[in-house]
Chain A
Amino acid sequence: MHQTTPGIAEMSIPPKLEHAALIDAIGQLIPAVRESDVTLSRRFYDSFDWRLFLAGASLEWRFSEVAGTSDSAWSPVDARPPARPRLSWRDLRKPHAMPIEQPLESEPGLLDELPAGPVRDRLAGLLEMRRLLPMVDVISQQTPLRLLNEDEKTVVRLLIEQNRFREPNSGQHGVLLSRLRLEPVRGYAEAFEQAREVLASRLGLALLDESMAQEALVAAGHRPGQYSTKLDQTLDPDQRADLATKQILRGLLATLEANIEGACQNLDSEFLHDLRVATRRTRSALSQIKGVFPESLVVDFKARFAWLQQITGPMRDLDVYLLDFPDMERRLPTVLSADLKPLHEQLVRQHLEAQRQLARELRSPTFSQLLRDWHRFLDEPVSATETTSPDLQDSPDAPPKQALWPIKRVADQRIRKMLKRVRAEGRAITKDSPPEDLHELRKSCKKLRYLMEFFQSLYPKDRIREQIKQTKLLLDNLGRFQDTAVQAQHLREHAESSAGGETLPARTLVAMGALISQLLRDQAQARATFGEVFATFDSAENAKRFKDLFVAHAHPQGALSPSGSAIAQGESQ
């Protein structure tokens, strides 16, 4: 019964078809009025991790819209005020919906810098702390036509577009498809359908599915949606353990390297965060996937990645501090929260200095040497099976025997071992345990989680995901406890150091004191729920799921596994 609004239709215009001829041909089929040409320049944005693309949206900043001179008669409908630069949001899943727009005079960046408006409202839930990065510019030469009914009323809008793209960073440029775009006018669905059919059949134009945003992104060399920090390496259970581990580490290195430039420039705080997570995972893989690489190498690289973690620490601490600041302000009564301002100013200054220091380190020869050596190690072929002959076993650089084990066996063994440790540490925690014990448990728990994530492709997907989820629930509880403790500790250190050089006013110190007591209360709450959360993790039900998933290898010294599975065959070689 309801008249539904049809979607926008786009057709590709063959390169050999002259646009003037096309416009004539349209005019002969349907009464149409041509309006003056417009040159529209727009820049498409997304976050580094493609949050808008993955949410099915596209965002463009229409920074210049110039009416070109057209040979057509001047049409009164053109007499609009000159278009101001504006931000335009499209829901690509609802192609017929009108774009959501808001005026914006300068390039968008972080959410906090954007003025209030409908586009900002839509970005707020998606973007969080990520910066909008320019992905591709599209310059369109547009000829608008209005298709009319017998009352000379506009019933369909038609746009002929010649499009070019330019990658804003590299300057790479080229030509995109020419498009004929039909936009429905509300309440004239029938006229729209007719126009679409007539144009497709009589002019032989093919309908296009790919949005221009997507076409332009790909043309500019982007791979929308490709960046991910997920550990999704697909491993073969029979693969040699050293080879499989290198594969995992190469994935982590790719993530690490992808984030260096953004972290150096501090485009947003997530670059450094992702870089640090990749570093932590690398260190965890090096130390937890035991006995697959020569010990001397492991020791060396562990120390060098520990250095990387350490030089990136101060900046990350300040990032977190500043990201949490609005939340800290909210925790305090309004009377006190204003007193935190001097602290904020001090943090911003320290943040700036930490950023300069970090960029120096990330551009240092020490770091580039680490990357070079790490690449060389990961890319060099592993020693053949024969080198495990007894006379070479004593050499410190020789591959240990577990290097030849099938990766599945190493994975099972390591996960079971770490699970055992998590259980033991968790069970030992009582009401009177010091915070350090919970911190230790958190570290073990993280190792367990990373191991399961490294090796998830070796196990049935749903079941390993469930166990990762169970572990995350425990980690969340421990994280809340730890994070509030760290925040309180930072505030205290800040207050103490303030007594020396950079002094904070007394009222600010008072507000910080109030904040610390709040944080400690929260911490106590997280502590109070720990018992319950751990009991769920340690339940018989969860234990059975773990046990079923990670096979016990009764004779780890190379004997056959009881089932005689592929694992056993791998071992018998």
Chain B
Amino acid sequence: MKTLAVYSIKGGVGKTTTAVNLAFLAAAEGRRTLVWDLDPQGAASFFFRIKPQVKGGGKALLRDQGALDAAIKGTDFEGLDLLPADFSYRHLDLRLGKGDKPRQQLQRLLKPLGRDYDLLLLDCPPSISALSEGVFAVADALLVPLIPTTLSIRTLEQLDDFLREKMPKDAPQLLPFFSMVDQTKALHRSIMQGAPEQDLQILRSPIPETEEIERMGLHRMPITAYAAAEIAAASYRALWREVKFALGG
């Protein structure tokens, strides 16, 4: 099982829409896919029409593999399941922080999922915390959405430094990509043009900011599922091809 975390320190950068669309594409190709909606806001759960609710909350999940198995729900799409969000996840940091080895705790919890799934997609809450450190430890790659601004490039560099320092040997692969791109904005264009020179290895497929993506909230399903012909859907497909390649097929 490959584990892919969609992660950003900032909120509102297109994290959940990316997670949901890539998960759909992966499942449509026959990969048994699980999305864990780790964000207490529950946006991914909302897109799949699943109640953001887990019996016993995050506490039960961390304690007991059975609770995790029981909490998983099938989505409308074959081969694509969801572990829903729960409002109690806002304390997940503290719970992981309390244990003596937060990383191992998360690793132990996720390992048995490898029997049922080929791909685990973690939709992370925006923050840097004990939970994110646990995520860094279990993920094969971090998919980081970047709005093309000076500040987000700087934040990416900070994340890169943090990983190099904290996990010199086993850091997850960093896969940044431009998100919510508005080609009419000069700043967006100039940041994106300058990116290759900065040695940041940003993926080549940007995701545009479109009304279609915003309307996903009305349809409550991945855009790649209901409007495959849209430009946005094509962008997600291109991004998925790159991510797949980076993960080794």
Binding site for B on A (CB under 8 A): 1-3, 76-77, 79-81, 86, 98, 101-103, 146, 151-154, 157, 184-188
Contact = CB atoms under 8 A, between A and B. Distances in A.
A2 B70 contact: yes
B226 A79 contact: yes
A3 B76 contact: no
Contacts of B48: 153
A540 to B, nearest CB: 51
Given A76-B219, A76-B221, A188 B74 contact: yes
Contact of A186 (B28, B81, B227): B81
Given A79-B225, A151-B49, A152-B49, A186 B77 contact: no
Given A152-B49, A153-B49, A80 B28 contact: yes
B70 A146 contact: no
B66 A2 contact: yes
Given A76-B226, A79-B225, A154-B76, A103 B69 contact: no
Contacts of A157: 78
A146 B77 CA distance: 11
B30 A77 contact: no
> Could you say which of A81, A146, A185, A186 has the most chain B C-beta atoms within 10 Å of its C-beta?
A186
Nearest to A153: B49
Nearest to A78: B225
B73 A188 contact: yes
B159 interface: no
Main secondary structure of the interface of B (DSSP, over half): loop
Interface in B78-130: 78-79, 81
Given A101-B30, A153-B49, A146 B76 contact: yes
B71 interface: yes
Given A81-B28, A101-B30, A186-B81, A1 B228 contact: no
A80 B48 CA distance: 17
For B74, B219, B221, the residue with the greatest tally of chain A CB atoms inside 10 Å of its CB is B74
Among A152, A184, A185, max chain B CB count under 10 A is at A185
A3 B70 contact: yes
A417 B144 CA distance: 81
Interface in B135-166: none
Contacts of B226: 76-77, 79
Contacts of B228: 79
B72 interface: yes
B80 to A, nearest CB: 10
A316 to B, nearest CB: 41
A142 to B, nearest CB: 14
A79 B66 CA distance: 34
A186 B225 contact: no
B225 A76 contact: yes
Contacts of B81: 186-187
A295 B51 CA distance: 85
Nearest to A100: B32
B225 A153 contact: no
A2 B56 CA distance: 12
18 contacts: A1-B66, A3-B70, A77-B225, A77-B226, A79-B226, A81-B28, A98-B32, A101-B30, A153-B50, A153-B76, A154-B76, A157-B78, A185-B73, A186-B73, A186-B81, A187-B74, A187-B81, A188-B74
A116 to B, nearest CB: 12
Given A76-B225, A81-B28, A187-B73, 19 more contacts: A1-B66, A2-B66, A76-B226, A77-B76, A77-B77, A77-B225, A77-B226, A79-B226, A102-B30, A151-B49, A152-B49, A153-B50, A154-B74, A154-B75, A157-B78, A186-B74, A187-B74, A188-B73, A188-B74
Nearest to B224: A79
A491 to B, nearest CB: 41
Contact of A103 (B30, B72, B225): B30
Nearest to A151: B49
What are the 5 closest A-B residue pairs judged by CB atoms, nearest first?
Answer: A187-B73, A185-B74, A76-B226, A153-B49, A186-B74
A1 B30 contact: no
Interface in B214-229: 219, 221, 225-228
A79 B229 CA distance: 10
Contacts of A186: 72-74, 81
B50 to A, nearest CB: 7
A76 to B, nearest CB: 4
Interface in B23-57: 28-30, 32, 48-51
Contacts of A2: 66, 69-70
B71 A187 contact: yes
A187 B66 contact: no
Contacts of B32: 98
Contacts of B69: 2
Query: Which of B28, B29, B72, B76 has its CB near the most chain A CB atoms (within 10 A)?
Result: B76
A152 B76 CA distance: 10
A98 to B, nearest CB: 8
A152 B226 CA distance: 15
A76 B73 CA distance: 21
A86 B72 contact: no
A75 to B, nearest CB: 9
Contacts of A103: 30
Contacts of B76: 77, 146, 153-154
A81 B226 CA distance: 12
Contacts of B225: 76-77, 79
Contacts of B29: 81
A414 B154 CA distance: 92
Nearest to B29: A81
